């Protein structure tokens, strides 16, 4: 064998390996096309325009055409920037000896923009040019849409800007193989194996109906997630009530009832010992009861918002009294659980029911006049289309709700996984928070329709008597119990300015605070982590901007401030209570059965 043939052999082997991988990629592509041609279960095609975008974009187009001179002027400026960018590229490649006389201001990605963190986006002239051209174009489009949307009503303008951003994010060069330098490098180094693995991930995700954000096989509820010791002491068709084992010799007399959202499962409050809000509250001497909502099916289609109040909060209060002998409690509601708690407090005030002595509402809205970007999914046409889909099944599928939440942070929760899972061919990394995020739940048709129409669409909860539950008109102004109102600075789901508005509708004292980070990390922030901050303002101005301007910043977790507020309202200390040893027997170990329903 000649030296030349010996030298070529590794290259030939690499080439053959690349061809074999590409052949497998082609086979999986054909398999994917075959899968994508199938209809949804039941033979129904997905809705053509689920977000009612056609009408919004038509209005936006007409608004743009109403001032063609401004549009043409903006396009001319963009073309000039493109020309300067090309001159800069030519200069870097040495095609021209001198740099351009007036190079454009470089379009830099924001520091938190992880799409362009690979060094080739700046070091390679071609990819640097592509990056800058994309960011420049994105800025131009967003600016023109913002200018033109001024002629639309507030909701239509917000919707136009939101979905324009979705379109821009989807077209990022980082999302495509041939324009992503890191993916190209991985393809060459792995001889195309990343594409083979990526298409395998595409097929698995397509069949599952979602993009996998984590390795779901790495977690088991009750084994390495949701592990705080406790017992289920009560169960009805809508919820299980968990009482947690004490870790202190004495506890506060008044038990603490936690009402989590039923849009997701309760164990966001009990992911693991180091960041479990439930375990931390237990360690501070509270007798903690938590509602674990059932994952409803078609049989619960007619379950309404009042049912969640009656069979959730009120059933839990009765069970807690049986289990501990205590009639008085404190309560905490998270997100929609907080909205339900506000409704229950208004109902109880009308009936002169004083069992709840203090209430905490975490990132919970009662005034939905400014609901944030979630509002783009809620208008009359979209709700009618959604209700038609719910009529067919009896519920809203959890995947639909998850899609809406993921779109609020598409680059982090969608496109980063498209790149990592599909282009790079990586397996999703095990992360318990993302496991919880994908463990979605269904929404009963009647409840969800009521919630979206009465709260988001019509904002009736803040109108005294406009909402009636079980024959009782609700008036938030009759609520006199002390309230701890927590919000999060970067919350896209319950904006802190919107949460702030709620404090004006309660008659009792309200302590409002703003935590650092967002809807989840802003809540789940244990003191031991030493992360983020929270803001307080003892002067309590009525205007949110003024409140923020005069706020005092405290490093660390708001949990400490909350505990200082709550323990004074929780009664004297009594002997610790063991789940199942009181008036209600233990039915099974925590976290129970309902939380495991898929």
Residues with a known catalytic role: 335
Three-state DSSP class for 381? helix
Residue closest to 186 by CA, chosen among 175, 174, 195, 199: 195
Residue closest to 291 by CA, chosen among 264, 258, 314: 258
Distances (CA, A) of 132 to 109, 306, 411, 565: 8, 53, 18, 50
Q: How many residues does the chain have?
A: 598
What is the DSSP code (8-state) at residue 377?
G
Distance from C-alpha of 426 to C-alpha of 432, rounded to nearest angstrom: 18
What is the DSSP pairing of strand 329-334 with strand 239-244?
unpaired
Match 């401030």 to its residue by tokens. 561
| Backbone φ and ψ of 28, nearest 5° | -70, -30
Q: How large is the angle between the packed helices 68-92 and 125-148, nearest 10 degrees? A: 170
Largest CA distance in the chain: 98
Distance from C-alpha of 498 to C-alpha of 403, rounded to nearest angstrom: 23
What is the DSSP pairing of strand 552-555 with strand 483-488?
unpaired
> Bridge-partner residues for 553, per DSSP?
535
Distance from C-alpha of 512 to C-alpha of 499, rounded to nearest angstrom: 9
Residue closest to 423 by CA, chosen among 198, 116, 171, 202: 198
Strand blocks (E) in 537-586? 552-555, 573-575
Radius of gyration of the chain measured on its C-alpha atoms: 28
Contact 172, 1 (CB under 8 A): no
């Amino acid at each position: 064998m000649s030296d030349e043939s010996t030298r070529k052999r590794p290259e030939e082997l690499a080439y053959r390996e690349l061809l074999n991988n590409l052949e497998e990629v082609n086979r999986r592509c054909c398999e994917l096309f075959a899968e994508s041609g199938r209809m949804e279960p039941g033979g129904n095609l997905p809705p053509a325009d689920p977000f009612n975008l056609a009408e919004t974009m038509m209005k936006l187009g007409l608004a743009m055409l109403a001032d063609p001179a401004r549009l043409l002027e903006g396009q001319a400026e963009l073309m000039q920037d493109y020309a300067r960018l090309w001159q800069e590229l030519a200069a870097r490649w040495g095609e021209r000896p001198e740099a351009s006389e007036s190079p454009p201001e470089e379009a830099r990605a924001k520091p938190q923009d992880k799409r362009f963190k690979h060094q080739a986006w700046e070091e390679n002239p071609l990819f640097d040019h592509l990056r800058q051209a994309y960011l420049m174009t994105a800025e131009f489009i967003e600016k023109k849409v913002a200018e033109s949307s001024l002629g639309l009503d507030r909701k239509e303008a917000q919707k136009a800007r939101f979905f324009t951003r979705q379109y821009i994010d989807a077209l990022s060069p980082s999302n495509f193989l041939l324009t992503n330098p890191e993916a190209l490098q991985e393809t060459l180094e792995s001889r195309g194996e990343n594409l083979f693995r990526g298409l395998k991930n595409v097929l698995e995700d397509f069949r599952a109906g979602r993009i996998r954000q984590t390795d779901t096989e790495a977690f088991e509820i009750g084994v390495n997630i949701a592990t705080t010791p406790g017992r289920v002491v009560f169960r009805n068709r809508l919820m299980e009530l968990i009482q947690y084992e004490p870790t202190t010799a004495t506890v506060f007399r008044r038990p603490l009832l936690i009402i989590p959202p039923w849009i997701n499962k309760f164990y966001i409050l009990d992911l693991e010992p180091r960041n479990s809000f439930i375990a931390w509250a237990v360690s501070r001497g509270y007798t903690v009861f938590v509602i674990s909502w059932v994952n409803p099916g078609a049989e619960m289609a007619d379950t309404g918002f009042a049912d969640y109040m009656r069979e959730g909060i009120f059933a839990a209060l009765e069970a807690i009294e049986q289990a501990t002998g205590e009639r008085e409690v404190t309560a905490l509601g998270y997100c929609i659980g907080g909205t339900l708690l506000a409704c229950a407090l208004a109902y109880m005030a009308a009936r002169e029911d004083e069992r709840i002595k203090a209430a905490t509402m975490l990132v919970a809205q009662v005034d939905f006049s400014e609901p944030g970007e979630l509002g783009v999914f809620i208008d009359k046409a979209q709700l009618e289309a959604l209700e038609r889909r719910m009529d067919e099944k009896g519920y809203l599928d959890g995947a639909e709700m998850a899609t809406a939440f993921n779109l609020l942070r598409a680059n982090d929760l969608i496109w980063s996984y498209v790149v990592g899972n599909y282009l790079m061919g990586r397996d999703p990394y095990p992360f318990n928070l993302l496991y919880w995020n994908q463990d979605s739940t269904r929404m009963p048709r009647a409840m969800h329709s009521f919630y979206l129409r009465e709260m988001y669409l019509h904002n009736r909860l803040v109108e005294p008597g406009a909402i009636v539950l079980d024959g009782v008109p609700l008036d938030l102004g009759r609520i006199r119990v002390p309230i701890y109102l927590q919000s999060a600075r970067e919350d896209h789901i319950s904006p802190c300015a919107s949460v702030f508005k709620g404090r004006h509708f309660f008659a009792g004292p309200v302590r409002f605070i703003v935590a650092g980070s967002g809807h989840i990390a802003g809540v789940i922030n244990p003191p031991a982590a030493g992360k983020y901050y929270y803001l307080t303002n003892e002067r309590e101005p009525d205007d949110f901007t003024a409140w923020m301007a005069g706020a005092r910043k405290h490093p660390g977790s708001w949990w400490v401030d909350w505990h200082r507020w709550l323990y004074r309202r929780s009664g004297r200390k009594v002997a610790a209570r063991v789940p199942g040893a009181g008036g209600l027997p233990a039915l099974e170990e925590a976290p129970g059965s309902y939380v495991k329903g898929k």
